[in-house]
Structure 1
Amino acid sequence: MITPLIFLTVSAFSLPLLENSTYSQTDTQCTLTVKEQRLQDNIVLTMSTNRNNHYDIKVYHLNNLQAPSRGELTQHAMDNIESHQKFNYVVDHNLFKRVDDKTVIYTTTIANDVNNISPQQFAEAFKAHSYRTKLHIKGLNPLTFIASQRQANAFFRCAEQQITTLAKR
């Protein structure tokens, strides 16, 4: 009786914990994908950057926020300390993909501004707050994204390498 319990306990702790984020890299792009903490597969944040250090920040979700339209996204630190600045961004809501008659995926994208400042600022704030952030998008409940430190470190290392490679050219 004790043997199966010990085996089950040892097996449970030897399995790697399920990660809430994934990192991928190609020759031209680095991407970090983070699942929303509560809704998991229904809402996903992606951050990507290319060789030109052009960041692209998107939230994929199932809510039609009057797409296509413009809106606002507010980024907060997780610990809600008043000394942490919150950032407001202009976002574009768009239809991403119609999966079937009942399922439609939408994107909320941080709008590009002069010199790609807003998406890069978002990524830097995400990194500064230990790869964690709370987002408020008008029309959605507050969202929480927490990336695996290992995955996020790999993404930001890749982003820095993209900058270094570009500078050498």
Structure 2
Amino acid sequence: MITPLFFLTVSAFSLPLLENSTYSQTEAHCTLTVKEQRLQDNIVLTLSTNRNNHYDVKIYHLSDLQAPSRGQLTQQAIDNIEQQKKLNYIVDHNLFKRIDDKTVIYTTTIANNVNNVSPQQFTQAFKDHSYRTKLHIEGLNPLTFIASQRQADAFFRCAEQQKTTTLAKR
């Protein structure tokens, strides 16, 4: 009786929180995908960068926020919210993919501005907040994203390597 219970307990705690995030790399891109804490399979955040040091930040969800439209996103730290400043971004809401008559996936993308500053600022703040962030998007309940340390470290190493490779080629 003790053996199955012991095995179940060890198995449950040995999984790193079921890996809330994934990291992938191709020759030209680095991507970190993070599931939302409560709505794990319905909302995901993706951070990506390429050889040209172009950052892209997208949130995939099932809520129609009057797509296509523009809105605002506020990013803040999860801990010490009173002491951390809130960062505001302009976002674009768009239809991403229609799965069937009932299921539609939408995307909210941090709008690119001159020199791609907003997506880079978001990504750096995510790193500075220990790979954890709370987001407020007009029309959605607050969202919480916490990446696995291992996955996020790999993404930022890849991003730094992409930047170094780009500089070396110049």
Give the TM-score normalised by the residue count of structure 2.
0.95
Q: Are 1:31 and 2:31 counterparts?
A: yes
- Aligned residue pairs, count: 169
Separation in structure 1 between the aligned mates of residue 10 and residue 71 of structure 2, nearest angstrom: 49
Separation in structure 2 between the aligned mates of residue 107 and residue 121 of structure 1, nearest angstrom: 19
Closer, same or farther in 2 for the Cα pair 1:14/1:66, shift >3 Å?
Answer: closer
Deviations 1:57-92 (A, max 9, x none): 000000000000000000010013323111000000
The equivalent residue for 1:95 is 95
Runs of at least 5 residues in structure 2 that lack an aligned partner in the other structure: none
The equivalent residue for 1:139 is 139
The equivalent residue for 2:154 is 154
- Tell me by how many angstroms 1:114 deviates: 0.4
Separation in structure 1 between the aligned mates of residue 43 and residue 10 of structure 2, nearest angstrom: 33
For the residue of structure 2 that corresponds to 1:42, the secondary structure is coil
For the residue of structure 1 that corresponds to 2:42, the secondary structure is strand
Closer, same or farther in 2 for the Cα pair 1:103/1:79, shift >3 Å?
Answer: same
Runs of at least 5 residues in structure 1 that lack an aligned partner in the other structure: none
Closer, same or farther in 2 for the Cα pair 1:101/1:78, shift >3 Å?
Answer: same
Aligned identity (percent) is: 82
What does 1:100-115 correspond to in 2, within 5 Å?
A: 100-115=100-115
Give the TM-score normalised by the residue count of structure 1.
0.95
The equivalent residue for 2:9 is 9
Separation in structure 1 between the aligned mates of residue 73 and residue 99 of structure 2, nearest angstrom: 26
- Tell me by how many angstroms 1:16 deviates: 4.8
For the residue of structure 1 that corresponds to 2:63, the secondary structure is coil
For the residue of structure 2 that corresponds to 1:151, the secondary structure is helix
The equivalent residue for 1:119 is 119
What does 1:55-74 correspond to in 2, within 5 Å?
A: 55-74=55-74
For the residue of structure 2 that corresponds to 1:40, the secondary structure is coil
RMSD, aligned α-carbons: 1.3
AA in 1 matched with 2:95: L
34-43 vs 79-88, which moves further? 79-88
9-18 vs 109-118, which moves further? 9-18
81-90 vs 55-64, which moves further? 81-90
Separation in structure 2 between the aligned mates of residue 63 and residue 8 of structure 1, nearest angstrom: 37
